[in-house]
Amino acid sequence: MNFIEELKFDEKGLIPVITQDYENGQVLMLAYANREAVMLTLEKGTVHYYSRSRQELWHKGDTSGHFQTVKEIFYDCDGDALLIKVEQKGAACHTGKRSCFYRNSRGEVIL
């Protein structure tokens, strides 16, 4: 867990997390994690986040069953963002879409 010490959490104690499908590279979502969420992700092998709206830890899949199994974790050159490659079970987006990025700049649904 040494890499956690290299991470730069913001003034609220959060770091952005880009979640990507490990097989095809599709970006599934962008969320945030605090130190505890990162540690739980490493410990449990499934992704944990911090919900900014609910102000609480969030284990992806607990309510939906759409768990994200960690395959690889990367952090950027500045240590202020994470990229987690996952095996996604079901939808990643709360709308039921596989990815949260399903609309283009014209508002058209593409996925």
- Can you give the residue ranges of every domain in the chain? 13-111
The answer on pLDDT for 1 being more than 70 is: no
Which is nearest to 35 in space by CA: 52, 54, 60, 10?
A: 10
Average pLDDT of the segment spanning 9-13: 98
| Confidence at residue 2, expressed as pLDDT on a 0 to 100 scale | 81
DSSP designation for 80: S
What confidence tens digit (pLDDT) does each residue in 82-111 have? 999 999 999 999 999 999 999 999 999 987
- Within 8 A by CB and 6+ apart from 67, the residues are 46, 60, 61, 89
Specify the fold of 13-111: Ubiquitin-like (UB roll) (3.10.20)
Task: Check: CB of residue 75 under 8 Å from CB of residue 7.
Answer: yes
The answer on pLDDT for 47 being more than 60 is: yes
